[in-house]
Amino acid sequence: MPLTGKEVAEHNSSKSCWVIVHGKAYDVTEFLPEHPGGTKIILKYAGKDATEEFEPIHPPDTLDKYLDQSKHLGDVDMETVKHEEKVETPEEKERQDRIARMPGLEQCYNLMDFEAVAKNVMKRTAWAYYSSGADDEITLRENHAAFHKIWFRPRILVDVEKVDFSTTMLGTKVDIPFYVTATALGKLGNPEGEVVLTRAARKHKVIQMIPTLASCSFDEIMDAAEGDQVQWMQLYVNKDRSITKKIVQHAESRGCKGLFLTVDAPQLGRREKDMRTKFTEAGSNIQSSSQTDNSQGAARAISSFIDPGLSWKDIPWFQSITKMPIILKGVQRVEDVIRAIESGVQGVVLSNHGGRQLDFARSGIEVLAEVMPVLRERGWENRIEIFVDGGVRRATDIIKALCLGAKGVGIGRPFLYAMSAYGQPGVERAMQLLKDEMEMNMRLIGCSSIDQLNPTLVDTRGLSAHYTGVPTDNLGLSVYDPLITPKEKAKL
Amino acid sequence: MPLTGKEVAEHNSSKSCWVIVHGKAYDVTEFLPEHPGGTKIILKYAGKDATEEFEPIHPPDTLDKYLDQSKHLGDVDMETVKHEEKVETPEEKERQDRIARMPGLEQCYNLMDFEAVAKNVMKRTAWAYYSSGADDEITLRENHAAFHKIWFRPRILVDVEKVDFSTTMLGTKVDIPFYVTATALGKLGNPEGEVVLTRAARKHKVIQMIPTLASCSFDEIMDAAEGDQVQWMQLYVNKDRSITKKIVQHAESRGCKGLFLTVDAPQLGRREKDMRTKFTEAGSNIQSSSQTDNSQGAARAISSFIDPGLSWKDIPWFQSITKMPIILKGVQRVEDVIRAIESGVQGVVLSNHGGRQLDFARSGIEVLAEVMPVLRERGWENRIEIFVDGGVRRATDIIKALCLGAKGVGIGRPFLYAMSAYGQPGVERAMQLLKDEMEMNMRLIGCSSIDQLNPTLVDTRGLSAHYTGVPTDNLGLSVYDPLITPKEKAKL
Amino acid sequence: MPLTGKEVAEHNSSKSCWVIVHGKAYDVTEFLPEHPGGTKIILKYAGKDATEEFEPIHPPDTLDKYLDQSKHLGDVDMETVKHEEKVETPEEKERQDRIARMPGLEQCYNLMDFEAVAKNVMKRTAWAYYSSGADDEITLRENHAAFHKIWFRPRILVDVEKVDFSTTMLGTKVDIPFYVTATALGKLGNPEGEVVLTRAARKHKVIQMIPTLASCSFDEIMDAAEGDQVQWMQLYVNKDRSITKKIVQHAESRGCKGLFLTVDAPQLGRREKDMRTKFTEAGSNIQSSSQTDNSQGAARAISSFIDPGLSWKDIPWFQSITKMPIILKGVQRVEDVIRAIESGVQGVVLSNHGGRQLDFARSGIEVLAEVMPVLRERGWENRIEIFVDGGVRRATDIIKALCLGAKGVGIGRPFLYAMSAYGQPGVERAMQLLKDEMEMNMRLIGCSSIDQLNPTLVDTRGLSAHYTGVPTDNLGLSVYDPLITPKEKAKL
Amino acid sequence: MPLTGKEVAEHNSSKSCWVIVHGKAYDVTEFLPEHPGGTKIILKYAGKDATEEFEPIHPPDTLDKYLDQSKHLGDVDMETVKHEEKVETPEEKERQDRIARMPGLEQCYNLMDFEAVAKNVMKRTAWAYYSSGADDEITLRENHAAFHKIWFRPRILVDVEKVDFSTTMLGTKVDIPFYVTATALGKLGNPEGEVVLTRAARKHKVIQMIPTLASCSFDEIMDAAEGDQVQWMQLYVNKDRSITKKIVQHAESRGCKGLFLTVDAPQLGRREKDMRTKFTEAGSNIQSSSQTDNSQGAARAISSFIDPGLSWKDIPWFQSITKMPIILKGVQRVEDVIRAIESGVQGVVLSNHGGRQLDFARSGIEVLAEVMPVLRERGWENRIEIFVDGGVRRATDIIKALCLGAKGVGIGRPFLYAMSAYGQPGVERAMQLLKDEMEMNMRLIGCSSIDQLNPTLVDTRGLSAHYTGVPTDNLGLSVYDPLITPKEKAKL
């Protein structure tokens, strides 16, 4: 016989704390101190239905994995659970109005457009989680801005009637040289989560990288793939290597074609926009004296398992447990690319984690421009596949990266925004727009296939130094009190 | 006996589609799928008078050329055609008000002023077509901005009482070293179209380049010339070379003095400002699910004949069919200038198509600064005439180009804007202003004739690198959500 | 017996044109076509009292010099002249209100402050004449901006208890290393004109350079000097050298200590802000079809006598007619400084005429940084006195120029603004503020006397190239139509 | 028997001037002309209670030190002193309202946030004193901006589980490599003054530098320290060396561990924001003709004793009177660092006095980048401890300085702002935020201890030249009148 709402409601304190998730009750009393997101957030739902809060930031197999079966209390008769009437805030009302007046999908002509729409229609907290970056968000913005410092030296009078921009990444043939890179918590943007991206990737024949911190479970995302669709796996390495081993070997057995070890996140970043938004949302009922942990954004809450001790010494162990190609994601200087090659890994992603980790880290594209001449001098340019992510918004950005020597680029947030605003059709249109731009711009640069892209087609003098284009110091400017000239006397 | 409106109106579907143009009916049913601008736009006028829409984007000989005589149905009694009452939109009303309050022509003191007025008084779609550029319009703006990175090193105490800035281009003596470069669809700005430019060019003794995609027919524009007035021809090369041959030889026989082969447009560009404007104009009656081709601007519609296979191998063929000097328009790097010289053509235009094709292509003036030192090192600087277009707005811009080694510069949009705002008097005043500025600035730089202009008169250190002045990333900035400092509590 | 207003009023056309100036009538009928400012402006006052318009732009001896005595018709009984009731425009009313609420002089803490106040309280046309520059006013702004690219490398632990910043220019001892440079039409800003500057210069023991185009006569300005006060003369060279010779020798006989030949103005500049303001003032009663010469600012009107044929060949002649030191004002590149030294002149002013002549001319301070290393290499640095003007607003600017090798700097507009806003006390305070800043900053840079200033005290790497800081392209930006993201549907 | 208010009130003129401070009366008649802050400000309180004005800018022992005991008139019966009813101005009312709505301390996520809050809640004059800088405040802003020109080259795959960022400065172990640098007049921000900083520094185990111009007395600040807490002393050298000697030896005897001689302030700076604010506050009752000394900010008033004659020759004398390490604070070029080493001092602070002295002085961090390569070339990098202050706002700024070779950084204003807004908890949170950022960013840069920080971890190409990022010329821009395009005719 199912539990009643009333029974559950009695366990509403840290002494005895039950919560309902997807129609089932769980006793989390003992788990409270271990919860990575903190005790407080669970206690808010003690004795109540926590599904809506739980859903986007926990894969569905979370409770099975982390909560002992003895604490699974079974079904609840949801008819008996008191439904909390949600009062629609004025902000939410305005958001619903904006949703009602959303521009049509066909009005989105480029990837920025999806971001503009998503900013308007997403929940503020979800937007803040996706869009925020580290500290002053200098690197966040530099990532795209860096592409604007690279100019073209196009060839003319080349036969470009037929343009083929398909290529190969880690042995997989793809339609266009980008992949969907790993981004966390897809259900914040769309109730279905990452599988939406899987389906769109299949349509356009591009690779999806599955994130460790997905809202969907790993298997759900694999299951959403069809035919010979290829997926890669992004991995945050767990302090407990036996868990890591299980995850890696499971992925390989499921058919994953690449293991991307994240190496730029020994600790997940402080993102003040995210932190500030959460505080604002929590609103006035938080007493200023309380020692809340709300200074920790969602990312920190869900990532405490990550091993800050991961080091070069661990690489051979990974090579011993899997035959998947191993790629280091988050390499940021040429010295480490060389070391990666010497370690025998198959690839690196020049990346700063989308500007979410170390502020003032340089853009991946700038690091690429530093890396390739050194590799070419050694004759090592083909010993490894080099990917770049961060700030890619236009096909010209992709072309620039490939001219400089990248094998392909990762694109993350733009697809999240397209998904959050328009669901799968949005993601598909975003990908189609990139293909349209790609065909056009391959022609205009005078190349009919990917292998013709080369460094003489770009002028990178503006990139090779940070002589200009430091993104605006918004906080600094907002607190600076500019000098003024003499004031007139007041009007009488 | 002429057709009646009623008879025509019955053929209002894709099954039988008649349209009226300039008082005559045409059966375009079979032509529908071939229409470069798409089926949809014709069907909008099925059974109706399409003249107003047809006019600016089709030269008058279009129907004769492309529609079999059997489909020419003859005169229509226009009295019987139902006149569609046009409802004046609030936007149009505001525009008419702005036209009524236009500044006087004598208030325009520089070329920017015409653009400011034109923006206010032109139809939004026409403005969008003329003013738009590729992608983020970075190159569009860089074109003018690049001139701002070049500074003067003027000479003093030179006798400049008499200043003569006439010069010679491809053997033709001109009053001042610019020509009216080719721009499409002149009737969008003025009902008479390109002949307005012809007449103004005659007044000021400068050369006009006739565009392939003119609203007027080629012969109309030739016919508008008087006396020994010189015109050149800009050519988009047709996939069907027999058509191209006919066009070229016709031009030569009519007395054209130069053949400018466009080499930077194997496919015409995506211009999002243009696309977005068209969508907005079309308004709410477009169903969001429809598979419209409105993502294609006017340029794409009228340019599907262009051959993306055009290559260096075609140059000898052109040389075999005409004796006109051949000039490659759209060269963008020194390697291709060298190849052009080796191919035996008479000139190149360093151009990026007014920023309408490949975004992040460098400005013509920057390419010029790259090209000339290489040519001089080889002693090749006189083997070819080098022109530059893009962004020229001031006589100082012309002087800068000539100091760096150009023979002359092309100016396009400013004359379109002057024509759109004020007709022929506008274009003439624009040209006169350039002459006034030219006289002044030749004096101030200390040169009394064109041949005295030389590289020591300019400081190009700022130009030789893209270290600064990347035009603003408007889309990127509009979607970026700046960090804020703590918010005060709400007022009670 | 004096003439009556009625008698004068009858001569109100181009056939017979009399005007009244300072209570006397003049017959200017035959002079009309010769008037440098054009016929139209005189005809506006035909038969009327033109004093107010005449006053600021003609030195008092103008009519004696240029109009034959036979055309001097004698006194007019001003009681009988119809007084034109001036209607106070709303703009003038607002200006009077701003004057009533002017900040106190003691609220001006730097030279910019005077400009801010002057902008508010001056007549629009006067402000436009003083503040305008050539073309896009890039050079106008670069002049000051260039100083912002120079940074200090101050010394510490130097005894600076006593700081002496007096120095010597062309043999004259001055309190501080600046002089009041020549600026035209002082009565536009103050009814007394340039003599106000003379008196303030005396108070602060600095040199005044007397402008050719002063509102006061040359002798009035000389007469306003007291004791051993030193003045220099700025000269626009007349096409008629006999006039020039008379002027120069008169100046020498009156005790002028330096002859500054303007060499950057063979023709006076087009200043669009000035032109546009005049048009606006003239207002709606000008028919748009009229061929007005309002495109010529005040400067052009009064400067048609200037000889554009002046050249290096004339220098020996000047040396033959005067013993005053000769200084070339407006030198703009190192080649011409070398030639000046070879010509045996005593000095040069590195200047671009306050940004009023050739736009994109480099700042004087940048030219100085180019010049001095070349001179030092030749050991020529002491063969000539080098001055700089343009953009000086702070004592730190003066110090920068002197560190780089200048003997002194010229300051013009700031004193005009101080005079226009506050009269002589304003000019004196402006000079005192510079002295206060100078004492402070000499101490802070670690120098107790002028001769200690040297190039190691400044970091000019930012200046030596135009890599940054190109002043804003205001016209270009105002006509550019930025890209936008998709628009929401309209609210219902 | 105490004096009565009435008795004191009779001495209200320059002939006999008594004032009340903290309940005691003083006869300052003879002292008036000697008062560093001018006569006027004292006379404002003649015969009245001056405590509130006196308090923040005079240490409590001032009257004992500088006013002869014979002028100490003893207690006043404060009941009899007429209490001046203060009228709350609208500005003060608005400020009180802002204080009531202050954000909670937990909403401050970075050091900029404290500044934003402090700007809102501090008295305008206090804010102006703390926040102002020299001249155009270019250096003030450059200080922070310079850090934005330095980018990271982080290492990956380094074991950073344990991160230790403690270090040693002048032999003292500290938790984190910053110290609280000396800033004047702490009571302007908080009634308790500098001891608040002392207590917070103890909590976080960082060193406080005690300012000469503190609001608290030196001994009060020393007394506020606890246990083995270390403090340093900042010294403005008095013209009277016997006073200086007494101060230094007293500090040593009290246990001060470092003597920081200020060498960049032979005269205290003109800070126009401060000057203008004071004027505005004084308001309309100041007659414009009066010769006020309000052009001198608070700093000038309290600093007239500073010796502008201090020079390298004085260093041996300091070494003779104390065994404390001597550090020169305000060194600004490599030549002077070398001389400092040769003089045998223990350290230098590369500083420009927080941008308050010489405008266009370079940032300390830029000077550091100039200094270290020269020292390393000589092998002198360990002969001295090098500190940097100015513009530090983030842990990444600290890390950048240490990578470049600094031993530690000084932070001043941010703690003043935190104290002014939130008192001691504010300062503590500010320090904690820096520690949180420090831990995170040490991990992200791939270093687990301070000694691992090195120059290969930063990219300083953007810093080594002033090619970009000159802070905005606010005054210049505010007076510049931008060009406009033609105006439409007026609406009818």
List, in order, residues 6 or more apart from D197 with CB less than 8 Å away: D180, D186, D208, D415, D419, D427
* pLDDT tops 60 at residue B12: yes
Q: How far is B33 from chain C (nearest CA, A)?
A: 30
Of B112, B141, B462, the CB nearest to C466: B462
CATH 3.10.120.10 placement within chain D: 5-80
What confidence tier does D55 reach under pLDDT thresholds 50, 70, 90?
confident
Q: With contacts defined as CB-CB under 8 Å, which chain C residues touch D481?
A: 119, 127, 131, 273
The two three-digit tokens of residue C364, written as one number: 């004087």
Q: What number is the average pLDDT over the span C11-31? A: 91
Q: Which of C182, C193, C175, C168 is nearest to C382 (CA)?
A: C168
Q: Which run of H or of E encompasses C20?
A: strand C18-21
Residues C178, C438: Cα–Cα separation, whole Å: 11
CB distance D368 to D397 below 8 Å: no
List, in order, residues 6 or more apart from B39 with CB less than 8 Å away: B14, B32, B33
CB distance B125 to B416 below 8 Å: no
Q: How far is C474 from chain D (nearest CA, A)?
A: 6
Of C103, C485, C489, the CB nearest to A487: C103
Residue A72: Cβ within 10 Å count: 13
Q: Which of B101-105, C300-304, C321-325 has the highest mean pLDDT?
A: C321-325
pLDDT of residue D436: 95
Q: What is the CA angle A133-A135-A138, rounded to 5?
A: 70
CB distance C392 to C368 below 8 Å: no
* Tens of pLDDT, residues A11-41: 999 899 999 998 999 999 988 877 766 788 8
3-state secondary structure of D372: helix
pLDDT of residue C31: 86
Residue A377: Cβ within 10 Å count: 9
pLDDT of residue C487: 67
Interchain CB distance below 8 Å, A336 and D156: yes
Of A116, A153, A284, the CB nearest to B479: A116
Q: At what angle do helices C395-404 and C138-147 cross, to 10 degrees?
A: 80
Q: What number is the average pLDDT over the span D353-380? A: 96
Interchain CB distance below 8 Å, C475 and D467: no
The two three-digit tokens of residue B469, written as one number: 């002045």
H helix runs in A205-264, sequence order: 218-223, 241-254
CB distance D150 to D456 below 8 Å: no
Residues B206, B323: Cα–Cα separation, whole Å: 22
Interchain CB distance below 8 Å, C490 and A117: no
* pLDDT tops 70 at residue C466: no
pLDDT of residue B289: 33
Q: How far is D151 from chain A (nearest CA, A)?
A: 5
pLDDT of residue A285: 33
Of B113, B264, B274, B336, the catalytic one is: B264
> In which residue are the tokens 């009078």 written?
A157
Residues D247, D253: Cα–Cα separation, whole Å: 10
* Tens of pLDDT, residues C131-162: 999 998 989 988 988 898 899 999 999 999 99
The mean predicted confidence, pLDDT, of chain D is 89
Please name the amino acid found at residue B295: S
The mean predicted confidence, pLDDT, of chain A is 89
ipTM of the complex: 0.88
Residues B23, C259: Cα–Cα separation, whole Å: 77
* pLDDT tops 50 at residue A377: yes
3-state secondary structure of B184: coil
Q: What number is the average pLDDT over the span C433-462? A: 95
Q: What number is the average pLDDT over the span B107-128? A: 92
Residue D216: Cβ within 10 Å count: 24
Nearest 5°: phi and psi at A14? -70, -15
Q: Is C53 exposed, middle or buried (0-12, 13-18, 19+ CB in 10 A)?
A: middle
Interchain CB distance below 8 Å, D113 and B485: yes
> In which residue are the tokens 């004449």 written?
C129
By C-alpha distance, the chain D residue nearest C274 is D483
**What does the radius of gyration of chain B's CA atoms come to, in whole angstroms?**
24
* Tens of pLDDT, residues D184-221: 899 999 999 999 999 999 999 999 999 999 999 999 99
What confidence tier does B235 reach under pLDDT thresholds 50, 70, 90?
very high
pLDDT of residue C65: 78
Residues A73, A18: Cα–Cα separation, whole Å: 9
- B353 as an active site residue: the answer is yes
Please name the amino acid found at residue D183: T
Residues A267, D128: Cα–Cα separation, whole Å: 40
Name the β-bridge partners of D389: D410
* pLDDT tops 90 at residue B188: yes
Of D116, D485, D486, the CB nearest to B486: D116
* Tens of pLDDT, residues A320-350: 999 999 999 999 999 999 999 999 999 999 9
* Tens of pLDDT, residues D109-134: 999 999 999 999 999 989 999 999 99
CA of C347: how far to CAs of B93, C212, C337, C340, C406, in Å? 63, 19, 9, 8, 11
pLDDT of residue A52: 85
What confidence tier does C470 reach under pLDDT thresholds 50, 70, 90?
low
Q: At what angle do helices B124-131 and B111-121 cross, to 10 degrees?
A: 140
The two three-digit tokens of residue D325, written as one number: 């390490």
Residues D39, D296: Cα–Cα separation, whole Å: 13
pLDDT of residue A468: 52
* pLDDT tops 50 at residue C286: no
By C-alpha distance, the chain B residue nearest C487 is B280
Q: What is the DSSP letter of D67?
A: S
* Tens of pLDDT, residues B194-223: 999 999 999 999 999 999 999 999 999 999
pLDDT of residue B58: 82
pLDDT of residue C362: 93
Q: With contacts defined as CB-CB under 8 Å, which chain A residues touch B135?
A: 110, 394, 396, 437
Torsion of CA A27, A30, A36, A37, to 10 degrees: 60
3-state secondary structure of C346: coil
pLDDT of residue D104: 92
Q: Is B378 exposed, middle or buried (0-12, 13-18, 19+ CB in 10 A)?
A: exposed
Least confident of A228-242, C85-99, D198-212: C85-99
Q: With contacts defined as CB-CB under 8 Å, which chain B residues touch D429?
A: none
By C-alpha distance, the chain B residue nearest D115 is B485
Q: What number is the average pLDDT over the span D368-372? A: 96
Residues C45, C404: Cα–Cα separation, whole Å: 52
Least confident of A165-174, A238-247, B90-99, B301-310: B301-310
Least confident of B169-183, B412-426, C350-364, D69-83: D69-83
- CATH 3.40.50.300 given to domain D118-267+306-477: no
* Tens of pLDDT, residues C328-382: 999 999 999 999 999 999 999 999 999 999 999 999 999 999 999 999 999 999 9
Residues A364, A376: Cα–Cα separation, whole Å: 18
Of C179, C336, C353, C359, the catalytic one is: C353
The two three-digit tokens of residue C412, written as one number: 């013009």
Residues C400, C467: Cα–Cα separation, whole Å: 20
pLDDT of residue D267: 87
CA A331 to chain centre: 17
* pLDDT tops 70 at residue D287: no
What confidence tier does D478 reach under pLDDT thresholds 50, 70, 90?
low
CA of A9: how far to CAs of A54, A81, A83, C147, in Å? 18, 9, 12, 72
Of A101, A113, A490, the CB nearest to C489: A101
pLDDT of residue B298: 53
CB distance B162 to B439 below 8 Å: no
pLDDT of residue C285: 34
Residue D29 vs residue A304, higher pLDDT? D29
Interchain CB distance below 8 Å, A489 and C117: no
pLDDT above 90 covers a percentage of chain A that reads 69
Please name the amino acid found at residue B172: T
pLDDT of residue B279: 60
Least confident of B285-299, C88-102, D342-356: B285-299
* Tens of pLDDT, residues B472-486: 666 666 666 676 667
The mean predicted confidence, pLDDT, of chain B is 89
3-state secondary structure of D158: coil
* pLDDT tops 60 at residue D280: no
Residues A273, A280: Cα–Cα separation, whole Å: 11
Residues D347, D331: Cα–Cα separation, whole Å: 10
CB distance C44 to C10 below 8 Å: no
Active site residues of A: 236, 264, 353
* pLDDT tops 90 at residue B170: yes
pLDDT of residue B275: 86
Per DSSP bridges, beta strands A172-174 and A167-169 are antiparallel
* pLDDT tops 80 at residue C86: no
The mean predicted confidence, pLDDT, of chain C is 89
3-state secondary structure of C174: strand
CATH number of B5-80: 3.40.50.300, 3.30.70.20, 3.40.50.1360, 3.10.120.10?
3.10.120.10
List, in order, residues 6 or more apart from C74 with CB less than 8 Å away: C2, C3, C24, C25
Residue B287: Cβ within 10 Å count: 9
The two three-digit tokens of residue C391, written as one number: 């953009």
DSSP states along A318-329? HHHH--S-EEEE
Q: How far is D273 from chain A (nearest CA, A)?
A: 6
CATH 3.20.20.70 placement within chain A: 118-267+306-477
* pLDDT tops 60 at residue A295: no
Residue B289 vs residue C485, higher pLDDT? C485
3-state secondary structure of B467: coil
Name the β-bridge partners of B386: B348
Neighbours of chain B (3+ CB pairs under 8 A): A, C, D
Interchain CB distance below 8 Å, B106 and C264: no
pLDDT of residue D471: 63
* Tens of pLDDT, residues C202-245: 999 999 999 999 999 999 999 999 999 999 999 999 999 999 99
Q: What number is the average pLDDT over the span D32-54? A: 83
* pLDDT tops 80 at residue C297: no
- C236 as an active site residue: the answer is yes
